[in-house]
Amino acid sequence: MTDFATYTNILPDPNNPVGEAGQSLAVASGGSNGPGYSTVNLSSKHAIDNTRTNSGRLVSRQSAGHSWEISLGYNPMTREQFEPVYNFLLQKRGSLTPFLVSLPQYKQPRDATFATFVASNNFTTTAGGTAGTDTLLIGNSSYVLATHKTAKPGDVFTVTDSSESNHTKTYQITRVETNTTAETNTTEPTTAQLRIHFVPSIQRQIAVGSTIVFNDPKFRVVMKSDVQSYSLNTENLYKFSLKLEEAQA
């Protein structure tokens, strides 16, 4: 008998196959790939309140936290392609249970050399991060800027913090400062460090030494609707799409 430790909590896709028992299982071992996406739409949602004074001055404030919204489209599928993803979602009972989704455009960082480095090397925070701030100083003792290149705006990451297991937010980099390019009024990073700016601001306190996950970061989501439906055409192909919203722990 072949046992497994946990059921997979990642939406099945071509990189995340699933076994019939619900476990993560390679195709070569009998697992089934989930279908690839035909379209991916990602929305960054900020809740901003704007008011104007009688003189016309604009006053803005953020009234609630940030969230990501994701829409996934699929090409028409055969039943064998359709069932792995549909039954995974049925098990989640609509918006009741969160799960993880890997988006292909963010599976690896933009720079291929940097992506190769972070595939086997983790950056960690060299200073703590306070909730509400939008920069972190990160480093790795084996990292060399000239050799391994750098993260770039548009790269996505998550945080693994042993002191805060509920930190499940996903962040997107907007600026990167390095040892050779840093703002004048700041202490420039060393050649083994990067200073990253990102959206949204830090949602929870981040301890020194927390891991920054650049390689295949995932979004924690729930379905926006509690109703799941599909259509079947005259060629016995299934038509299906998904609307998801971020679900922080």
Tens digits of residue pLDDT in 214-229: 999 999 999 999 999 9
Q: Quick one: what percent of the chain has pLDDT higher than 90?
A: 90
pLDDT at 1 over 60: no
Same domain, 201 and 126: yes
Per the structure, how many domains does the chain have?
A: 2
Residue 7 included in any domain: no
Tens digits of residue pLDDT in 22-45: 999 999 999 999 999 999 999 999
Q: How confident is the model at residue 121 (pLDDT cuts 50, 70, 90)?
A: very high
The 10 Å Cβ neighbour count of residue 32 is 17
Mean pLDDT of the chain: 96
The 10 Å Cβ neighbour count of residue 69 is 15
CA distance 153 to 171: 11
pLDDT at 2 over 80: no
CATH number of the domain that 142 lies in? Answer: 2.40.30.290
Q: How is residue 92 annotated by DSSP?
A: T
Are 8 and 18 a contacting pair, CB within 8 Å? yes
Residue 142 included in any domain: yes
Residue 174 included in any domain: yes
The kind and range of the H/E element at 88 are helix 79-91
Q: Quick one: 63 exposed, middle or buried, by C-beta within 10 A (0-12, 13-18, 19+)?
A: exposed
Range of the domain at 158: 108-213
Same domain, 165 and 120: yes
Confidence (pLDDT) at 65: 87
Same domain, 70 and 130: no
Same domain, 127 and 72: no
Side chain identity, residue 109:
P
Q: How far is CA 80 from the centre of its chain?
A: 27
Dmax (CA) for the chain in angstroms is: 75
Confidence (pLDDT) at 32: 96
The angle formed by the CA atoms of residues 215, 134 and 66, to the nearest 5 degrees, is: 85
Residue with tokens 């800027």: 145
Least confident of 57-61, 86-90, 124-128, 208-212: 57-61
pLDDT at 156 over 90: yes
Tell me the three state secondary structure of residue 186: coil
